[in-house]
């Protein structure tokens, strides 16, 4: 209250993709009874139990059939690992936010946070055990590592467009993406937007958002223009994973609010505009001990840093074992438009290590000495004295990052962390990180078990034991390592040859969750119960089907009630002109007539496409109350109908006089 808080709220993350809050004032009424009657006074009150727990009516949050309405109770419980914060509201009312988990009456996770916290403790347990085995302590002493946490830094991409233009686009408003529209002649071909000067309106929004985020404890560090026109990115300094998730959600929220205030609209959809790059959320991920040591730091000589090598092969083993599940964690109707579209990592999950680590792993596997990477010629690029013998003495020589960049990999080692790049810009990072943590925790258990088997009766593994286990997992995880161009067709064939899953559609990806190999791992580690998995599967399928249905309905209405009538108006004016001009001569009327005639087949095509779209929407309603069948139907039939209708509309956009076209064009939306 000293800081102006008048209300409090439990702030939680239901499975809707956003956060939820319900505010309560610190207000209570107190009655005093006296002979003169009852006197009521207002007092500020806030009890310990209100801090710890709340019971919102949870019946309207997705539960995937886990709760029926009559037992709809859900509880929010204070997550003490994430600091509270205060957000200012209007009229001097500020709200105290209490980060919370959201569980059902029976303790089932109804949210993203509970499972994330479970996954971080699974990783902590598995990893501490491995570290204490390879780095033993004297009998009776405290274990050296008692806790391992995962670290996360989320690079957030987004578009900023003019808010008044946005409000004229029902497709953007209802679905987050444009359902019609052609590219302007100049868009991102020149690569002149990427890292360009940030437009002043955008800079104003970015700076204000950053300041507000600093006040909330979110350490935003980086900002820049991205590839597509009006696409931008920001990134914080990494933090403990569950806190980083909270902070990413806050970042999105604050960007949304500040953009609105500055008459802009922020778009977090993965593919708001067809034909230019979409947005992702790179999840930079690593593990750290309670002493702050980054377990993925290769140090100077990774080949003899057995701790690093064991952790590295564990991560590779995790990707190899659970690539299908990692694919599930990033699946959504919106991310489907971006993944594999030659601008984002493909649907095949592989891991990139870079030249140096690849050589390290190859040398261990082949039992030969490592090529010397420490020689100065390789580590530094000399800028003074190069080809053509031009001396550029004023430039210092630079150190070459030994993990060179490969932008086409969905899961790339970047120096001292992995970067999960296939995550969607719109989605909460909670689920992908939960799955990644789970997969790695399980893989570390496998590696630890192999180490115990290898060392036999010895109390601790020898270096030779460690090398043997490292070698074993280098061999078994080899198929997921790919250093080449992930966008190429050759990789699709190569991945198929290697037996890597290439799961193209989201409904198929969601099914991976119930595949026994995956569900057994998740339940064994205590991250999900079987019923939580079933519920989550259902929620994902339902959301996918609904997303596409909303798109179909939005498009159908837009086409029938705005685009088609405007084209009719244009045709009407052309027809009138033709009639008037015919009075002069047929020859004079010919140009307008030709334009009118060119429109006719395109209009007919659009009408047919709308009819087909409406029929598909109708058919989808007949599928029955089965989320999986609906999602499959939406994917197989509704999406193609949307695409056909769009193609017809986009053709008409070109043929219709600008003054009749009812909604802003890409050329207006994509430039300030």
Contacts of 117 (CB under 8 A, 6+ apart): 79, 81, 101, 242
Closest approach of Mg ion to the CB of residue 604, in Å: 48
Picking from 265, 266, 274, the residue whose alpha carbon sits closest to that of residue 233 is: 266
Taking the mean position of all CA atoms in its chain, how far away is CA 354? 24
Closest approach of ligand ADP to the CB of residue 417, in Å: 4
Nearer Cβ to ligand ADP (155/246) = 155
Nearer Cβ to ligand ADP (8/411) = 411
Taking the mean position of all CA atoms in its chain, how far away is CA 58? 25
Q: Does 537 bind Mg ion (CB under 5 A)?
A: no
Q: How do 5-11 and 94-104 pair as beta strands?
A: parallel
Closest approach of ligand ADP to the CB of residue 570, in Å: 46
Q: Does 281 bind Mg ion (CB under 5 A)?
A: no
**Window 412 to 451, contacts with ligand ADP (CB under 6 A):** 416-417
Q: 482 with 493: CB under 8 angstroms?
A: no
362, exposed or middle or buried, with CB in 10 Å at 0-12, 13-18, 19+?
middle
Closest approach of ligand ADP to the CB of residue 206, in Å: 14
Closest approach of ligand ADP to the CB of residue 427, in Å: 17
Cβ atoms < 10 Å from Cβ of 378: 14
Nearer Cβ to ligand ADP (188/286) = 286
Picking from 474, 449, 462, the residue whose alpha carbon sits closest to that of residue 126 is: 449
Nearer Cβ to ligand ADP (16/416) = 416
Task: Annotate each residue in 588-627 with x if it binds ligand ADP (CB under 6 A) or - if it does not, as one string.
Answer: ----------------------------------------
Nearer Cβ to Mg ion (5/412) = 412
Which among 120-128, 139-147, 281-289, 656-664 is the span making contact with ligand ADP, rule CB under 6 A?
Answer: 281-289
**Which residues in 115-138 are b (16+ Cβ under 10 Å) and which e?**
bbbbbbbbbbbbbbbbbbbbeeee
Q: What are phi and psi of 447, to 5 degrees?
A: -65, -40
Picking from 113, 439, 93, the residue whose alpha carbon sits closest to that of residue 247 is: 113
Which among 138-146, 278-286, 493-501, 577-585 is the span making contact with ligand ADP, rule CB under 6 A?
Answer: 278-286
- For the chain, the C-alpha Rg in angstroms (whole number) is 29
Nearer Cβ to ligand ADP (233/592) = 233
Q: How many positions of this chain bind Mg ion (CB under 5 A)?
A: 2
**Contact of residue 416 among ligand ADP, Mg ion, none (CB under 5-8 Å per partner type):** ligand ADP
> CA-to-CA distance for 188 and 191, rounded, in angstroms?
5
Length of the chain measured in residues: 672
**Contact of residue 417 among Mg ion, ligand ADP, none (CB under 5-8 Å per partner type):** ligand ADP
Which among 126-134, 279-287, 314-322, 393-401 is the span making contact with ligand ADP, rule CB under 6 A?
Answer: 279-287
Nearer Cβ to Mg ion (134/234) = 234
**Contact of residue 536 among Mg ion, ligand ADP, none (CB under 5-8 Å per partner type):** none
Residue 579: C-alpha distances to residues 584, 598, 609 (Å): 9, 17, 30
What residue spans of 525-626 are helical by DSSP H? 530-558, 564-584, 586-622
Closest approach of ligand ADP to the CB of residue 223, in Å: 9
Interface residue with ligand ADP among 238, 273, 413, 473 (CB under 6 A) is 238
Q: 408 with 345: CB under 8 angstroms?
A: yes
Interface residue with ligand ADP among 294, 379, 523, 607 (CB under 6 A) is 294
Nearer Cβ to Mg ion (112/155) = 155
Task: Annotate each residue in 214-233 with x if it binds ligand ADP (CB under 6 A) or - if it does not, as one string.
Answer: --------x-----------
Closest approach of ligand ADP to the CB of residue 665, in Å: 32
Q: Does 236 bind ligand ADP (CB under 6 A)?
A: yes
Q: 571 with 593: CB under 8 angstroms?
A: no
Q: Does 407 bind ligand ADP (CB under 6 A)?
A: no
Cβ atoms < 10 Å from Cβ of 590: 13
**Window 149 to 178, contacts with ligand ADP (CB under 6 A):** 151-153, 155
Q: 319 with 476: CB under 8 angstroms?
A: no
**Window 154 to 173, contacts with Mg ion (CB under 5 A):** 155
DSSP assignment of 618-666 equals HHHHHT-S-HHHHHHHIIIIIHHHHHHHHHHHHHHHHHS-GGG--S--H
Q: Does 466 bind Mg ion (CB under 5 A)?
A: no
Closest approach of ligand ADP to the CB of residue 245, in Å: 12
Interface residue with Mg ion among 282, 338, 518, 537 (CB under 5 A) is 282
Q: What are phi and psi of 368, to 5 degrees?
A: -125, 165
Q: 498 with 90: CB under 8 angstroms?
A: no
Picking from 602, 604, 580, 577, the residue whose alpha carbon sits closest to that of residue 592 is: 577
Contacts to ligand ADP by CB under 6 A: 151-153, 155, 222, 235-238, 284-286, 294, 416-417
Contacts to Mg ion by CB under 5 A: 155, 282
């Amino acid at each position: 209250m000293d800081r102006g808080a008048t209300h409090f709220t439990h702030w939680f993350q239901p499975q809707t993709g956003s956060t939820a809050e319900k505010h309560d004032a610190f207000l209570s009424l107190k009655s005093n009874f006296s002979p003169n009657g009852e006197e009521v006074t207002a007092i500020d009150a806030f009890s310990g139990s209100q801090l710890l727990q709340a019971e919102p009516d949870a019946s309207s949050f997705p539960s995937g059939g886990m709760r029926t309405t009559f037992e709809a109770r859900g509880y929010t419980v204070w997550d003490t690992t994430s600091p509270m914060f205060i957000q200012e509201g209007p009229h001097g009312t500020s709200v105290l936010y209490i980060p919370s988990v959201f569980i059902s009456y029976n303790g089932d996770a109804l949210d993203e946070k509970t499972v994330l916290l479970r996954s971080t403790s699974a990783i902590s347990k598995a990893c501490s055990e491995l570290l204490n085995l390879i780095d033993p302590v004297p009998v009776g002493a405290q274990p050296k590592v008692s806790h391992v946490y995962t670290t996360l830094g989320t690079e957030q991409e987004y578009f900023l467009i003019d808010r008044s233009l946005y409000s004229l686009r029902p497709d953007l408003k209802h679905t987050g993406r444009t359902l019609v529209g052609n590219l302007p002649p100049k868009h991102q071909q020149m690569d002149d937007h990427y890292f360009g000067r940030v437009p002043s309106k955008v800079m104003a929004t970015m700076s204000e958002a950053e300041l507000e985020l600093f006040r909330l404890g979110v350490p935003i560090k980086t900002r820049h223009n991205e590839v597509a026109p009006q696409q931008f990115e920001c990134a914080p300094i990494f933090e403990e994973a569950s806190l980083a998730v909270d902070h990413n959600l806050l970042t999105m929220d604050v960007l949304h609010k500040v953009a609105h205030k500055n008459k802009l609209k922020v778009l977090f959809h993965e593919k708001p505009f067809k034909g230019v790059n979409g947005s992702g959320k790179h999840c930079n991920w690593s593990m750290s001990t309670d002493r702050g040591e980054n377990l993925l730091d290769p140090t100077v000589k990774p080949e003899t840093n057995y701790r690093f090598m064991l952790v590295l092969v564990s991560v590779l083993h995790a990707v190899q074992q659970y690539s299908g599940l990692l694919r599930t964690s990033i699946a959504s109707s919106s991310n489907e438009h971006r993944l594999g579209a030659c601008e984002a990592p493909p649907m095949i999950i592989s891991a990139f290590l870079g030249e140096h680590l690849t050589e390290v792993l190859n040398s261990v596997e082949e039992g030969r000495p490592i090529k010397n990477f420490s020689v100065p010629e390789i580590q530094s690029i000399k800028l003074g004295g190069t080809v053509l013998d031009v001396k550029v003495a004023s430039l210092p020589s630079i150190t070459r990052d030994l993990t060179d960049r490969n932008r086409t990999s969905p899961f790339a080692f970047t120096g001292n962390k992995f970067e999960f790049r296939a995550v969607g810009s719109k989605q909460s990072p909670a689920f992908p990180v939960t799955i990644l943590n789970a997969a790695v925790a399980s893989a570390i258990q496998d590696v630890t078990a192999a180490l115990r088997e290898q060392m036999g009766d010895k109390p601790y593994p020898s270096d030779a034991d460690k090398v043997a286990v490292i070698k074993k997992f280098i061999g078994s995880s080899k198929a997921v390592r790919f250093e080449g161009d992930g966008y190429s067709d050759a990789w699709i064939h190569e991945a198929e040859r290697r037996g890597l899953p290439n799961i193209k559609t989201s409904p198929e990806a969601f099914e991976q969750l119930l595949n026994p190999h995956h569900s057994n791992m998740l339940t064994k580690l205590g991250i999900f119960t079987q019923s939580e998995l079933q519920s989550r599967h259902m929620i994902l399928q339902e959301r996918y089907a609904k997303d596409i249905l909303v798109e179909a309905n939005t498009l159908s209405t837009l086409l029938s009630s705005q685009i088609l009538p405007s084209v009719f108006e244009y045709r009407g004016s052309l027809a009138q002109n033709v009639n008037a001009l015919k009075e002069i001569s047929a020859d004079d009327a010919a140009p307008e007539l030709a334009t009118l005639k060119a429109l006719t087949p395109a209009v007919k095509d659009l009408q047919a496409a709308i009819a087909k779209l409406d029929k598909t929407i109708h058919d989808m309603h007949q599928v029955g109350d089965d989320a999986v069948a609906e999602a499959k139907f939406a994917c197989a039939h509704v999406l193609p109908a949307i695409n056909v209708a769009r193609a017809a509309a986009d053709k008409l956009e070109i043929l219709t006089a600008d003054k009749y076209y009812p909604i802003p064009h890409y050329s207006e939306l994509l430039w300030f």
